[in-house]
Structure 1
Amino acid sequence: MKAVLISGGVSMVAALLGTPLLIRFLVRRRYGQFIRQDGPTAHFTKRGTPTMGGVVIIVATIVGWLAGLLLTGTAPSASAILVLFLMAGLGVVGFLDDFIKISRQRSLGLSPAAKIVGQGVVGIAFAVAALQFPNARFRTPASTHISFVRDTDLNLAFAGAAIGLILFVVWANFLITAWSNAVNLTDGLDGLATGVSLIVFGAYVVVGVWQFKQSCQILGSVGPRCYETRDPLALAVVAAAITGALFGFLWWNASPAQIFMGDTGSLALGGALAGFSILTRTEILAAILGGMFVVIVMSDVVQIGFFKATGRRVLKMAPLHHHFELSGWGEVTIVIRFWIIAGLFVALGVGLFYGEWVAG
């Protein structure tokens, strides 16, 4: 448990102190955000604000995680390494996207095909590796079962191990792409994606610690009163490191933002969220914990679908937060209210998570 506190504290300090250093470096190199011309006009004043702040989030997370291990004499686990690999790998894809935007002074970075290929390479490597590394109880970090609060009876390997592996890779990559794009869409206002992510990853600290306390491996039992997650405490340590890094980064990313996380941060955080949902066996529950992300994605889907079908728009502009901007809401008002809604989704998700255990 000490590792959870240490990793969160160290990563927060690392992000808090490291972000202004990155801001000064980016300002010197003139690496500023390019603002899309069809967005709210109030955003034009943000042109030139340093971006790629996700670099700090990723580095601070890894520093916090390592500190938690070193100061408690804990060995790294397969599950933690897998989540960090997914986070850093998608962060690299996002970094390339951000760098192209900055260097070419345009709002579009990597082509959609290149981004999909980059996400796919990282996602496939993660998915294949997640079904390896069995522990003494022959538990691998991930499972071919679709999970809600824990693994359900719906097994992707119903037709054999080979088919199960292929279907799991497809399913895992769907989750990775969906969550990385969801966080990316949410990153449209100062502090919005950072604050919502902080709340969601904070929930995964709770989930990881509870699964550790009720671990089948520790209790030596099976059934609905314990969890088969391979490395729950290790995942809680990583979640705490991410949460701490987001706390430190939010100090500089809150309105008026002195730095944006960019695609470097949003893709990395989305990948980490997908990784946690898969490795903690909470794939469907994650859609409730991250309900604010889901609402924002659905607002974009509905807007596009309705416009293609009727030629009219449901919202003044998608995603949802831009609709409220054009409706006259202040940016800080929107962000704080969306944080509150994110907290309510997390409360509902954690309540369902705990309620399932009580019922079991």
Structure 2
Amino acid sequence: MISILIAASVGLLVSIMFTPYLIRAFSKQGFGQEIREEGPEGHQSKRGTPTMGGVSIIVATVVGYGVAHLLRWAASADGGGPSASGMLVLLLASGLGLVGFLDDFIKVRRQRNLGLNKTSKLVGQLVVAVAFAILAIQFADQRGLSPASTNLSYVRDLAVIAFPIPVFVLFCYLLIAAWSNAVNFTDGLDGLAGGAASMVLGTYVVISFWQARLACAETPQPACYDVRDPLDLAVVAAAATGACIGFLWWNAAPAKIFMGDTGSLSLGGLIAGLSVTTRTELLAIVIGGLFVVEMVSVVVQIAVFRSTRRRLFRMAPFHHHFELAGWAETTVIIRFWLLAAICCMFGLGLFYSEQLAAVGG
């Protein structure tokens, strides 16, 4: 528990102190956000706001995680080093953050709203996702548990749905691409994605800690959880939660800096990685419901327009629909944060109810 609190506190402090440095450095270099012409008219005033602030989130998360383990190592005879699961989730987030950084860098250098082309971006996500998937089914511990399971999972593995390894790798790619793009779509208003992500990651702190308390080595089946390193995953999620909140201090409306694709892709990677390593891929759809709705709104808008030549929403992603309907930006943000909080609470409720059912069974 102390490691979780340390990770969250350090992640928060590093993010809130490091972000102003990035604002000054990126402003000096002219790394300002380009705004698409077809976007809401009110967004044009944001042109030139420093971007690539996701660097702060990634650095703060890694530092928070590292400091928590360093202090645990100094205070414990057993060492308390990083786990395979924790390192893989961090590597996934960092790898996707690098893809996003290249995308952002091209945008600001060429002063356009398009960075990497779709093929290059998908290839980058593919390489990172495949590496994560292959490594995640390695590194079995003494119980024979790897960071990931080739079974589809809700709160625990669903024994009736087991993937062959090639299909599992494809599944991981689709999952990671979907979550990273979902957070990317949501990152269109000041603080919207950062605030929602902090809630989702905070929810995973609770879930991972709960799983650690009921690990299968200590509790008889069927009430226990077959998760390799749940406590360390809670440390990762806590560090990322603190980093998001610290960044939100500067990213909330009116934003002094944007996270860019650097931040949105890495946060999507964190959510995807935590869902795989905690065996909650299906539950994550509920917990991250706001991101899912934002992504679905884009898919539906495209499908409807291509089939009918009409738009279902005034603009997609969904948050722009309400802006164009006359809602103030801060109103949209706060109400969408409330929706994100409801999704997280509902997800926790489902997690807890499944545990009660397992114990009762």
* Displacement of 1:218: 3.0
Output the amino acid matched with 1:342. A
Structure 1 residue 37: deviation in Å? 0.4
CA contact (8 A) 1:35 1:47 kept: yes
For 1:293-346, what per-residue CA distance to the aligned partner results, in whole angstroms no more than 9, with x for missing partners? 011111111111111111111111111110111111000100000000000011
**Corresponding residue for residue 340 of structure 1:** 338
AA partner of residue 331 (structure 2) = T
Structure 1 segment 1-360 matched on structure 2, within 5 A: 1-73=1-73, 74-157=80-163, 164-219=164-219, 221-223=220-222, 225-360=223-358
After superposition, the C-alpha distances for 1:208-267 in whole angstroms (9 at most, x for unaligned) are 000000110233x332x1100000000000000000000100000000000000000000
Q: Distance in 2 between matches of 1:154 and 1:245?
A: 38
Instruction: Determine the C-alpha separation between the residues in 2 that align with 1:23 and 1:278.
Output: 34
Helix, strand or coil: the match of 1:284? helix
Q: Distance in 2 between matches of 1:171 and 1:101?
A: 30
Aligned 8 A contact 1:93 1:119 in 2: yes
Query: CA, structure 1 residues 154+174, in 2 after alignment: closer, same or farther (shift >3 Å)?
Result: farther
The 8 Å contact of residues 211 and 232 in structure 1, kept in 2 or not, is answered as yes
Alpha-carbon offset, residue 72 of structure 1: 1.4
Q: Which amino acid letter does the alignment assign opposite residue 65 of structure 1?
A: Y
1:161 alignment counterpart: none
Q: Is the 8 A contact 1:88 1:268 kept in 2?
A: yes
Please report how far the alpha carbon of residue 51 of structure 1 lies from its aligned counterpart in structure 2 after TM superposition: 0.2
Contact 1:300–1:320, Cα closer than 8 Å, also in 2: yes
Separation (CA, whole Å) in 2 of partners of 1:91 and 1:319: 22
What is the SS of the residue equivalent to 2:327?
coil
Does the C-alpha gap of structure 1 residues 53 and 279 become closer, same or farther in structure 2, counting only changes over 3 Å?
Answer: same
Q: Matches of 1:121 and 1:320 in 2, distance apart?
A: 30
Mapped contact 1:4–1:236 kept (Cα < 8 A): yes
Tell me how far apart the structure 2 counterparts of residues 166 and 155 of structure 1 sit (CA, whole Å).
14
Displacement of 1:22 in angstroms is 0.5
Q: CA RMSD in A?
A: 0.7
1:98-146 deviation digits (Å, cap 9, x = unpaired): 0000000110000100001100001000000000000000110100100
CA distance in 2: counterparts of 1:305 and 1:343, whole angstroms: 29
Give the % identical residues: 55
SS state at 1:153 partner: strand
TM-score by length of 1: 0.97
Is the Cα contact below 8 Å between 1:156 and 1:167 reproduced in 2?
A: no
- Structure 1 runs (4+) deviating above 2 angstroms are 154-157
SS of residue matched to 1:154: strand
The secondary structure found in structure 2 opposite 1:81 is helix
Moved more, 35-44 or 210-219: 210-219
Find the aligned partners of 1:154 and 1:264 in 2 and give their Cα distance: 37
Matched residue type, 1:95: F
- My pick for the range that moved more, 57-66 or 71-80, is 71-80
SS in 1 for 2:198: helix
Take 2:260 and 2:319, find their aligned partners in 1: how far apart are those partners? 17
Tell me the CA shift for residue 154 of structure 1: 3.1
CA distance in 2, matches of 1:237, 1:12: 13
Aligned counterparts of 1:8 and 1:55: Cα–Cα separation in 2: 17
Unmatched 5+ stretches in structure 1: 158-163
For residues 93 and 57 of structure 2, the distance between their equivalents in structure 1, rounded to whole angstroms, comes to 10
